[in-house]
Structure 1
Amino acid sequence: MTYLLMIDWQLKIGATKTYRICKEQLNGYENIGASLNDFKNFHMDVKCFIHERDGQFFVDHFKEMTETRIGFCFDYDLDDDGSLRRAIWADGTARDNYKIFGDAVSFDATYSTNKYSVVFTPFKGVDHHKRSVTFCGALIAREDYESFNWVFSRFLQAMGGKEPDKFGVSRSDYNDFMCKINDIIWDDELEAAEFDGIWEQIIEDHGVGVNDWFADTYAIRGQWVMTHCRDLRMASIMRTTQRSESENSFFKRFEHKSGILVEFWMRFESAMD
């Protein structure tokens, strides 16, 4: 095993798992030539070496990705003292997925990733097989209006300016429209005929009856509207919060509250692969 491979594994999966892998490769712990504590100490030494350069390593890595990977985009923002406070990135595959599956997007800000309390905020969606897909990853140091506004605006830039909402409703009318639509979509006490009548009235009131996407979506309401799906398994009918919760176990694989940024992006890339 090479020295660089050892570092790579230590940062991606930690000292204990690396030690176990070495045991399998070398046919026994006795052939490793080091104890588990040695591996843990080595891991700490690597993190100490990286510590002062952590943010710069992170930025340099993603800058290199924009130069070497077709379709990869990255942006970041620094505090006045030069500390990384925001970052966002997406590769070509993720951006292509958004073009196809970006009708609805789930945004989750519940993952505290490392020792700096930087929050990981993935943008996710669902493909045609009802599998979760990740469109974009972002990090923010503070959960405030400025940070979220920065992330959302950069997300739209990365996705070519294409917004996930296809409803065609004016921004001034949007909240009222969405409240009415959500009320009937998730009301499982409505009868199917009642739903259809209220839907048609909402569409007429808000002037979106000529929208092709809306018409096509309504035509297959038997696959996604609660009152039309009473006899179907509910596994595929989920709110975005449920979709986020269903992915927690996946993203938890590389969440490490004592970790550093270099560990985070290495584990993130391994998880995506």
Structure 2
Amino acid sequence: MADPEGAVLPPPDGVEPNLDNPPNGNALINGLTSLFLAISLIFLLIRAYARTSYMKNRPALGDYVILPAIGTYIAGCVFVFRVAATSGFFVHGWDFRLKNLAWFYYNLFLGTQMYLATMIFLKTAILLEWARIFGPGSRKAFRWTCYIIAGLNSTYYIINIILECTSCTPREYYWDKTIPGGHCLDSAVLSLTSALVNLLFDLAILLLPQGVIWRLNMSRRKRVGVSVVFVIGLLYDHHFPYCPTFYADANPHDVAEAVYVRRSE
């Protein structure tokens, strides 16, 4: 049986393990998480003020749908902070105690579920906003297309959460690979499928309003400007809720790299 006080992986030749005070990237991850959390909340407050106080508009359905996304996003960030406060990020397997590995993956597992839940509400809110802005009048087909994509998106992410939570038997084996007799579905296949489906939904949300924008009665230059604004806004919204989607790699350093890359986006 492996020593829980020992390293997760053997060190390379000539490398001395540092299990007591390993070098890590906690400051980087904490800084990125705090930065994007602050930016997201500031822009949400600006939007709320502009709609209710400046423009005197009543909140639309999409404004209410975004509220649960804020909660799940913040919860996901909390799990990232919990990892940084204990085992840490960017720690190589030979500097990482085996007993801390389950806690590391447990928090990232919960953070992943918060990310998936956030996507349910965030993308639905975006599509409801598209329907509100571009759907009135004779554009009934456009409005119903938004509703249908929102329903499919929500259904997909609910199924994704269920698969994530039931992919390992027992469930605890998802984050604790020391449990004897445990087994999981092929996590690489699940991750690839999730990435492809996400791409399809993102492209649909990105392209859906473009046809309406380019048929507006305005100059080509203005249509280009409006189109660019919507693309930039959508890219911001999609980076707003990131919490890491991962599979249980043997080296926690590699998982931290995925967190960093997504945060940097």
User: Scaled by the length of structure 2, what TM-score is found?
Assistant: 0.24
Q: Which protein has the bigger strand share?
A: 1
Q: Which protein has the bigger helix share?
A: 2
